[in-house]
């Protein structure tokens, strides 16, 4: 099967300092690829590169347009959940309002927040806001969804809800690539895990195997820190 996303020998520098070094990554339709690593390891930069917010200094990136869900949602506070999801459809893609609203309502229902369509962001829980942000990213139907620390502000019950929603998206054929510090969440949702350290992929494989019996010291150090926190 031809990968939906492919990175080969990617190098990215910032201020003369290497942020990503010789990174290779592939992801197929229906895969959920998790990126883990200590702060500064390069995982968020990798998401930004896939979203075309960064340009590599070397290597090859083959990726379709992707929807990016930021760690802190960045919903427009003066707009309802429904209007947040409709925004790009109406103002960028010039879809008729009725068509955009119908798609937005369908996405919100699929993600379990259809009943919150008229709520402003400040009236949403963290989990609800996260799912509205995902609906907004999916509104223009990108084949790839990128999520930066999607569980950062969620309690355990909401993490389980989100894991279920992401698994359903993957089962529909969407490719998901996410960063996380939450090893339990990664075990629950990811089909493959890559661990980064200092801009290098140091370990990859089945999440359960990597997290249970890590080979690289960087992975062991990451897990020790997660347990302390």
pLDDT tens sequence across 83-119 = 999 988 888 888 899 999 999 999 999 888 899 999 9
What per-residue confidence (pLDDT) applies to 36?
95
User: Cβ distance 132 to 116 under 8 Å?
Assistant: yes
Query: What Å distances lie between residue 122 and 51, 131, 135, 211, CA to CA?
Result: 27, 14, 17, 36
The token pair at 45 is: 């930069």
CB under 8 Å to 115, separation ≥6 — which residues?
none
What per-residue confidence (pLDDT) applies to 226?
64
The token pair at 160 is: 């389980």
What per-residue confidence (pLDDT) applies to 1?
67
Query: What's the angle, vertex CA 175, arms to CA 109 and CA 184, rounded to 5?
Result: 80
Output phi, psi for 92, to 5 deg: -105, -45
pTM of the model: 0.88
Per residue in 10-52, pLDDT (tens digit) is 999 998 889 999 999 999 999 999 999 988 889 999 999 999 9
Q: Which helix (H) or strand (E) holds 61?
A: strand 58-62
Per residue in 54-90, pLDDT (tens digit) is 999 999 999 998 988 887 668 889 999 999 999 888 8
Q: Is the pLDDT confidence value at 174 over 80?
A: yes
CB under 8 Å to 164, separation ≥6 — which residues?
none
């Amino acid at each position: 099967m031809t990968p939906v996303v492919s990175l080969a020998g990617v190098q990215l520098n910032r201020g003369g300092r290497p942020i990503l070094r010789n990174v290779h990554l592939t992801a197929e339709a229906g895969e959920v690829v998790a990126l883990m690593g200590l702060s500064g390891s390069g995982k968020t930069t990798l998401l930004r590169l896939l979203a075309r917010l960064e340009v590599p200094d070397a290597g090859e990136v083959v990726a379709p347009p992707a929807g990016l869900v930021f760690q802190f949602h960045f919903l427009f506070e003066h707009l309802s959940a429904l209007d947040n999801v409709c925004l790009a459809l109406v103002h960028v893609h010039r879809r008729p309002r009725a068509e955009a609203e119908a798609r937005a309502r369908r996405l919100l229902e699929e993600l379990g927040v259809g009943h919150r369509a008229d709520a402003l962001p400040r009236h949403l829980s963290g989990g609800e806001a996260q799912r509205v942000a995902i609906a907004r990213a999916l509104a223009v139907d990108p084949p790839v969804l990128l999520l930066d620390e999607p569980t950062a502000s969620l309690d355990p019950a909401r993490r389980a809800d989100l894991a279920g929603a992401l698994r359903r998206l993957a089962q529909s054929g969407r490719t998901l690539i996410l960063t996380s510090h939450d090893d339990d969440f990664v075990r629950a949702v990811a089909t493959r895990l890559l661990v980064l350290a200092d801009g290098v992929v140091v370990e990859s494989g089945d999440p359960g195997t990597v997290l249970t019996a890590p080979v690289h010291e960087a992975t062991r150090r990451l897990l020790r820190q997660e347990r302390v926190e």
